[in-house]
Amino acid sequence: MKNSFVASILVSALLASSGVQAGEYLHLKAGRFGLSSNPSLIESGATQTSRVFVIQFKQPISEKDRRWVASQGLQIKRYLPDDALLVRGSVAGARFASTFHPGVRAVVPFASSWKISGEFTSEKASVSPETIMISLFDEADQEAALSELKIKSSAEILQADGRDLIVEMPAAEVTRVAEIDAVEWIQKLPVLITFDYSMEGEISDTPPTPARPALTGHESGTKIMNFDIAWERGYLGQGQVASMADTGVDSGVLATLHMDLKPVVTQGFALGIGATTWDDPQGHGTHVCGSVVGTGVASQEAIRGGAYGAKMLPSGIWSPILNNIAFPSDFNKLFGTTYKEGARIHTNSWGSPRNLGEYEMFASKTDEFIWNNPDMLILFAAGNSGEDANQDGRIDEGSIGSPGTAKNVLTVGASENLLAEGGIQKTLREMRDGDKKWGVEPLASDKLSDNAQGIAAFSSRGPTLDGRTKPEIVAPGTNIISTRSHHPKATTLWGAYDDEYVYAGGTSMSTPLTAGAATVTREYLVKARGIANPSGALVKAALIHTAQDLFPGQYGTGPKQELPKKRPNVHEGYGRVDMSAVTALQAETILVDEKQGVAAKEERAVSLTLAKAGMSLRVTMTYADAPAAPSAAKALVNDLDLKVIDPAGKEITLADRVNNTEMLELSGLAAGDYRIIVKGVNVPQGKGGRQPYALVATQF
């Protein structure tokens, strides 16, 4: 498909005006386009048996519209904003849709240039081989696509895994490869790293001399999150199975695992490229595992993970060939391996520090797994790219790493732990490149773990490139002590505490602590609230709903205050995890796990009564949205609204067109009956035309 061919049916993008109607523009990463049909150009492709088209409607897409499109023999592959479907099928079907459906604005071929990531620029296209990821529309296309790829490029095939091809080829050949009908998206293969903040050259590999610091209770990070209160109430994660993908765990042999992990790790999986074991030659994964489920045996229960009563299924994704984390690109295997064994919480302390804020293929694949398996909550670290590059005394925005940019995951940032001895106790200015990253006050003289109300300076901030709020939650991620890998090659991260434990920091550390919180929350929902199989969205909603707002942050109010506004904001999301609050939700707290969902223009309501004037109401809704096309400029597909109607009939609506999590916090309310409503604004890609959701509402 030639770019010049498609260009002739594109109307030049115009500036948006107040009169823009639904479906007027197509919003892609390649640009914004106004579309107009040209049946003769659709006809000119008649010699091809299969084509890819965009069908844009004049109004939001209904389930009836989708059924009509399918009846023309067109396979619906993706939703594209605004009000368009990306379909595969015959030219005859596309022509019929263009001519005979009164609600269709335009039908055009899907341009090959729309399939290419902005990482590639034609004027700078390299002739040197690069590692590139090519995603196909369908797994069945693989053989034919490989054949055509050999004709159109000099690509060396490194991996052909389902819909994904990993190849080595010059970027200069990308435009030709994009012409292959079966190709949906082309991007550079993300370079993945663990999200512990590197302290290379600033630590000691041996335990402190003359003696390790005395225990204060804050070492593991769990105290600030009020885990001790949840444990006292009997919620330890019992009956739950958590899982992780990381550098491995200790020896990778059940019989010889770290004594804190041996009682809770029941099985491990080797998923790293070229790996035959799930041992941990790096040290990162063992630390992560301990923060989720470590039992504290080696510390007389002083240093424990958040869900030490749960079981753990770790997957090692360390590649001994590449000496880094690397795994086959089949995310159904990455997450599905442990899901099939009963895990319903999956934590990931890694991601890509490139193309920050972008919703790319790995984010889309993660959302797709959750869309298909909504009872699993997947967590990702936000990244450690936080810095004050413009030197205004506040951490810059827009640095979230993928897959933390995915919609359906719980993306976790790092707040500060409270530890004055051990680990790294330098000021930010004294750290490597500290003058460049954090050289202006109040950052420069701050320390990493001296104020629990603060956000770690290195913690990545949102929003995503399409404006979504990330991270959604924070937890302690500085000077965290957890289990130490005994592998002879393992590092000691931020330094050794003793032979069994090490310090570490990063969103890598806050994420497994939050995974422990999610595991305990799931136990609470099952045991205390009688929800047999809570969705990941409900677990996520409960954690967000009960989080503690850290506003204004550790530097107080003023022109350089850390958090410029109350939650939600792109520094802390909705706040820091609070396990006391989540395990003490009142009996009258409304918990809705709506698995059937709501259709477009449909409303679902619940009611509550405020007994006296002056009370407050907090309502949180979240849902696992359909995966977005990697070519789309807007990640939100199905759009739900949250609103409250007060006793006088006044409507308070949060009309968010970007996020799939919404919270309303109302105070000083009149006594009387209230209705909480979830409305389907636009559901172009629902499950049977509906979007499931979770809702939590508390009066206080």
pLDDT per position as a tens digit, 77-102: 999 999 999 999 988 888 888 888 88
Residue 15 has pLDDT above 90, yes or no: no
Query: Mean pLDDT lowest for which of 191-205, 226-240, 558-572?
Result: 191-205
* Residue of 310, 368, 299, 300 whose CA lies nearest to 336: 368
Q: Tell me the average pLDDT of the chain.
A: 92
pLDDT for 211 equals 60
538: three-class secondary structure by DSSP: helix
Q: What is the pLDDT of residue 9?
A: 33
pTM of the entire predicted model: 0.95
What mean pLDDT is predicted for residues 210-225?
A: 88
Q: Is 139 exposed, middle or buried (0-12, 13-18, 19+ CB in 10 A)?
A: exposed
- Please check the confidence at residue 208 and state whether its pLDDT lies above 60: no
- SS3 label, residue 4: helix
How confident is the model at residue 127, as a pLDDT?
A: 79
Predicted local confidence at residue 35, as pLDDT? 86
d(CA 562, CA 551): 8
Cβ-proximal residues to 642 (8 Å cutoff; 6+ apart), any chain = 619, 621, 653, 654, 656, 662, 663, 664, 676, 677, 678, 679
Query: Residue 404 has which token pair?
Result: 């933390």
Domains of the chain: residue spans and CATH: 3-111 (3.30.70), 122-189 (3.30.70.80), 237-547+554-584 (3.40.50.200), 586-699 (2.60.120.380)
Banded model confidence at residue 425, pLDDT cuts 50, 70, 90: very high
Mean local confidence (pLDDT), 111-124: 85
DSSP for 188-252? EPP--EE-SPP-TTS--SS--SS-PPPP-S-TTSTTTTTHHHHHHTT-S-TT-EEEEEES--TTS
What's the average model confidence in pLDDT over 268-294?
98
Among the ranges given (41-50, 218-227, 234-243, 362-371), the one the predictor scored with the smallest mean pLDDT: 41-50
For residue 5, pLDDT over 50 is answered with no
The share of the chain scoring above pLDDT 90, in percent, equals 87
pLDDT band for position 124 (cuts 50, 70, 90)? low
CB of 89 closer than 8 Å to CB of 75: yes
Distance CA 378, CA 409 (A): 5
> Are residues 505 and 416 in contact, defined by beta-carbon separation less than 8 angstroms?
no
Return the minimum-mean-pLDDT range out of 33-37, 309-313, 521-525: 33-37
Range of weakest confidence among 4-13, 379-388, 626-635: 4-13
Q: Residue type at 323?
A: N
Q: Please give the Cα distance from 601 to 669 (Å, whole number).
A: 28
Output the six-digit token pair for 249.
Answer: 């765990």
Q: Retrieve residue 334's tokens.
A: 């990455």
What mean pLDDT is predicted for residues 609-614? Answer: 97
The number of helix segments (H) and strand segments (E) in the chain equals 14, 32
Residue 10 has pLDDT above 90, yes or no: no
Give the mean pLDDT of 238-253. 98
The pLDDT of residue 121:
76
Instruction: Verify cis geometry, omega within 30 degrees of 0, for the bond prior to 463.
Output: yes
Please state the rounded mean pLDDT for residues 53-57: 95
Write out pLDDT tens, residues 507-547: 999 999 999 999 999 999 999 999 999 999 999 999 999 99
Task: Please state, in angstroms and rounded to a whole number, the distance separating the CA atoms of residues 131 and 167.
Answer: 6
The better pLDDT of the pair 319, 204 is held by: 319
By three-state DSSP, how is residue 604 classified? strand
Q: What is the mean pLDDT of residues 19-46?
A: 72
Report how far residue 599's alpha carbon sits from residue 691's, in angstroms, rounded to the nearest whole number: 6
Look at residue 3 in the predicted model and tell me its pLDDT.
37
Q: pLDDT-derived band of residue 45, with 50, 70 and 90 as boundaries?
A: very low
Nearest to 28 by CA among 2, 50, 5, 6: 6
DSSP 8-state secondary structure symbol assigned to residue 10 = E
The answer on pLDDT for 13 being more than 60 is: no
Cα 220 to Cα 294: distance, rounded to the nearest angstrom:
10
Q: What is the pLDDT of residue 39?
A: 57
Q: Give the whole-number percent of the chain exceeding pLDDT 70.
A: 93
Query: Is the predicted pLDDT of residue 17 greater than 60, yes or no?
Result: no
Q: Tokens for 364?
A: 């889309």
Give me 504's structure tokens.
């570490």
CA–CA distance, 5 with 638 (Å, rounded to integer): 32
**Rounded distance, CA 573 to CA 464, Å?**
12
What is the token pair recorded at 499?
A: 């032979």
Tokens 């009611």 correspond to 607
